[in-house]
């Protein structure tokens, strides 16, 4: 299971329908938070996102992307949390986040660890179990200096197991099948050794989810998003506001679509929508679909499931 819940999809300031930036990525029972705009904790309650998370990633430190961490950390403290919280962000993260979480008079009763990241860093998943099965790549974005985006890349999966071929090779159903599936050879009762070649197909790619945060369309995003199963790209404006997008370090919906096309992404979701657009933001979707068909625009509370490009069943 891999899904993304949009907690805030408005640019710069909240509106009645949209809160400021935040997104929860849930994978195999683990929750990762990307951005934490003001009011994110309430959006998490509203849309059923777990507070049992231990990592928050920030793309840059414009106020609409991080002010919510102040309140969220307090609430976690009130809940009696003891486990450490890890915060990641580009240069300046230590100063900004350390200040933010020390505001007020309460003491935070758990450790908060701030890590500064830069383009090219590969963050290995923390902990054990399913967390080992992916890494997070940090890439450069273009938003007036020092901003980054994040790509979650899953490890390759085992190839597809062909039960017919296993039977044909005389391997009885049972533990031997499991061994073959894991890529190991098996020795049958009659002494014959059967290798997984020809019974288990080639390794299959894991999923790739890419989040740009605020950015102009740029080559670094195209590179990071090559073949992405899901690209979440900001689209603050429509083409009518093209100049304004350029001046303010943002993208138009069409520009986001061009990035998705160049990256051969499977699906594009636009977010960080200016308050000037309606709830449905039809004009943004229409403009982007002319370039990249598999486009939708995020709404607060929207959940996007990310399936494998090659389904599990044979
Ligand atoms: Zn922003
Ligand atoms: Zn910004």
- The mean pLDDT of the chain is 94
CA dist 26 and 168 (Å) reads 40
CA dist 95 and 289 (Å) reads 41
- Of 67, 69, 66, 50, the closest CA to residue 58 belongs to 66
First to last CA, the chain: 18
| CB-based neighbours (< 5 A) of ligand 1, an ion | 62, 64, 214
Q: What is the pLDDT of residue 311?
A: 62
CA dist 32 and 34 (Å) reads 7
Q: What is the pLDDT of residue 314?
A: 45
Active site residue 64: yes
Q: Which ligand is nearest to the CA of 249?
A: 2
Residue 169 DSSP SS3? coil
Tokens linked to 211: 């989040």
Q: Give 119-155 pLDDT, tens digit per residue.
A: 999 998 765 555 458 999 999 999 998 999 999 999 9
pTM confidence score: 0.92
| CB-based neighbours (< 5 A) of ligand 2, an ion | 62, 214
Centre of ligand 2 to C-alpha 271, Å, is 13
Confidence of residue 279 (pLDDT cuts 50, 70, 90): confident
Tokens linked to 97: 């986040």
How much of the chain is helix, strand and coil, in % rounded to 5?
25, 25, 45
Q: 145 and 214 in contact (C-beta within 8 Å)?
A: no
CA dist 173 and 18 (Å) reads 53
Q: Which ligand is nearest to the CA of 62?
A: 2
CA dist 235 and 219 (Å) reads 16
Q: Give 208-224 pLDDT, tens digit per residue.
A: 999 999 999 999 999 99
């Amino acid at each position: 299971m891999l899904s993304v819940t949009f907690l805030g999809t408005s640019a710069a300031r909240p509106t009645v329908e949209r809160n400021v930036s935040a997104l929860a990525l849930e994978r195999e029972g683990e929750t990762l938070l990307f951005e934490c705009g003001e009011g994110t904790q309430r959006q998490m309650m509203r849309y059923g996102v777990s507070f049992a998370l231990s990592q928050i990633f920030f793309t840059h430190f414009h106020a609409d992307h991080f002010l919510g961490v102040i309140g969220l950390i307090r609430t976690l403290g009130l809940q009696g949390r003891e486990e450490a919280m890890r915060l990641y962000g580009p240069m300046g993260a230590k100063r900004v986040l350390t200040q933010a979480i020390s505001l007020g008079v309460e003491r935070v009763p758990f450790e908060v660890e701030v890590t500064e990241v830069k383009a090219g860093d590969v963050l290995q998943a923390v902990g054990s179990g399913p967390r080992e099965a992916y890494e997070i790549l940090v890439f450069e974005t273009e938003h007036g200096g020092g901003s980054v985006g994040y790509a979650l890349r899953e490890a390759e999966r085992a190839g597809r197991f062909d039960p017919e071929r296993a039977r044909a090779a005389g391997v009885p159903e049972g533990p031997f099948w499991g061994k073959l599936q894991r890529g190991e050879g098996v020795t049958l009762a009659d002494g014959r050794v059967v290798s997984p070649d020809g019974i288990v197909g080639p390794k299959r790619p894991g999923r790739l989810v890419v989040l740009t945060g605020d950015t102009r369309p740029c080559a670094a995003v195209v590179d990071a998003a090559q073949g992405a199963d899901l690209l979440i790209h900001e689209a603050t404006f429509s083409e009518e506001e093209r100049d304004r997008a350029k001046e303010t370090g943002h993208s138009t919906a069409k520009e986001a679509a061009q990035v998705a096309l160049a990256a051969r992404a499977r699906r594009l979701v636009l977010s960080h929508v200016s308050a000037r657009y309606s709830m449905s933001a039809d004009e943004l979707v229409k403009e982007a679909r002319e370039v990249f068909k598999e486009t939708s625009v995020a709404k607060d509370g929207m959940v996007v499931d990310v399936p494998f490009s090659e389904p599990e069943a044979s």
